[in-house]
A and B are shown apart, each in its own frame.
Chain A
Amino acid sequence: MKIYKFKLVCIAICATLLFVQCDDDENGNVIVQETCDDGIQNGDEEGIDCGGSACEPCIDEIDFSGTYVQEDIMGRPGVNTVFSGADNVKNMFNTSLVSDRMSFQATFEETLEDYHDVYGDALGITIDYETNILGLDAPTFTTVLAQFDALQVAPNGQTTYYDPGTGVVLTGRTLADDVIDISLTLMFGGTSGTRFDGNNGTPQLTSDGVDSGDRDFTLPFPYLETPITQ
């Protein structure tokens, strides 16, 4: 009788452990799936770490066939939305190859000048794009945007869109990078970077005036914050 009870207790403890291991974390904390990642077929798994009641279906039971065709694409922030202009051009950009975008350069340059014209017209003066702080004139700047639209990502060294503290530029994009101010500076900042910065009677066109606020960029993987729930 005692042995029988002992067995019952053991079964209960083991079942509890199994249940806890597979349970979700009710506190919203990041947890790592472990029971289905032990490299052996156990429990009611149908293969190694797959199938059964706790693990994902085994890979050969899932349909991954078919052809998938590009509908949207993104490299650097804002390129298509800012420079393509017309809706049909935006759609064309999204369905184009990164390596085949020479035809977009002229449109991009025209849009860049249009932005200056719109503002110049409002002020009653003529404003043209001026070679930016990277030394890129309008054709070269828009060539970089159109034909080389990818994030450059350095495997060795700091990764940032631009860090004013270190001067490192175009080696990645962190969550904290103020890509809007960087882009505005490249578009409207001229050679000095401060051409239209709101000082000395100029309009403020090189910063949108917002920072990251109370966002926390110090979190571990996946680095992004939990969703806003209010």
Chain B
Amino acid sequence: MKKTNLFAAIGGACVLALSIVFVAADHIDAPAVAGTTTDIADLYAFEGDNPNNTVLIATLQGPLTPGTVTENAAFDEDVLIEFNIDNTGDFVEDLVIQAIKRGDSMYFFGPAQPAQTGLSSEIATFAGYTAVKISTTDDVQTATNNGMSFFAGPRRDAFYFDFNRFNEVVSGSAAPDGFFPPGTADDFFDELNVLAVAVEVPNSMLGSAPPHVGELVGLTGLPASYNVWVSAKRKQ
């Protein structure tokens, strides 16, 4: 997408914001965090290339246009990015993996049982840590420690979605056809970037998984699964 088109799309989004607007997976999801350094775009969690590992990826501050906007995007030293893992099925975090910027590096702590759960956190300095230099668009750094891998820096947004058409669908102006067919539909995020934090962790560090939550609503046959979410917390 050319920048001019993107700016037009964003302008259109601002107009649509007066009514019902849907902005991507979690990109710019609420006015209090939109455009801030705590704004989470997406969360991914999947089996790593090593099948004994789980990969956790959080993306933030999206969408970033290519060029200077991406190059100038930066993690915030006052923002703690926290992967939460519930391995007992009560949707309270039993383990956290925390990431916070200091200098030109991202410091990762955990997985560790947090000193306190919930809306407020302290950094788990009692847990082991690994620092990785924050990557730039042309200098990619990863770190490994204790079977884990770590990364922080700008990446291409993996999320794909015809978000402009969705706004037309939910406003009713797309009737009677609904979404466009393949070829006509347009992926808004095709050539945009995000800031990403990625951790690959051996499952042996995450404990046993509880029964799948789907069993509570009659979905049977699902494998035992952790409940995972990411939060962004600002220093007070």
Contact = CB atoms under 8 A, between A and B. Distances in A.
Contact of B122 (A68, A148, A212): A68
B120 A81 contact: no
A68 B236 contact: yes
Interface residues of A, number: 104
Contacts of A59: 107, 125, 129
B47 A158 contact: yes
A208 interface: yes
A183 to B, nearest CB: 9
CB-based closest 6 A-B pairs: A209-B185, A90-B30, A203-B178, A122-B175, A122-B172, A68-B233
Given A25-B140, A209-B182, A225-B156, A72 B231 contact: yes
B113 interface: no
B181 A91 contact: no
Given A152-B226, A215-B158, A72 B47 contact: no
Contacts, number: 379
B225 A70 contact: no
B201 to A, nearest CB: 10
Nearest to A148: B213
Interface of B: 20, 22-27, 29-33, 36, 38-40, 42-49, 54-55, 57-58, 64, 66-67, 70, 79-80, 84, 86, 90-92, 100, 102-103, 105, 107, 118-123, 125, 129, 131-133, 137-145, 149, 151, 154-156, 158-162, 165-166, 169-187, 190-193, 196, 198, 200, 203, 206, 209, 212-214, 216-219, 222-236
A210 B198 contact: no
A70 B156 contact: no
Nearest to B129: A59
Interface of A: 24-26, 28-33, 37, 56-57, 59, 62, 64-75, 77-78, 80-82, 84-85, 87, 90-91, 93-95, 97-99, 114-115, 118-119, 121-123, 134-136, 140, 143-144, 147-160, 169-175, 178-180, 196, 198, 203-205, 207-213, 215, 217, 220-230
Given A74-B42, A198-B181, A209-B180, A226 B156 contact: yes
Nearest to B98: A68
B45 A28 contact: no
B142 A70 contact: no
Contacts of B216: 148
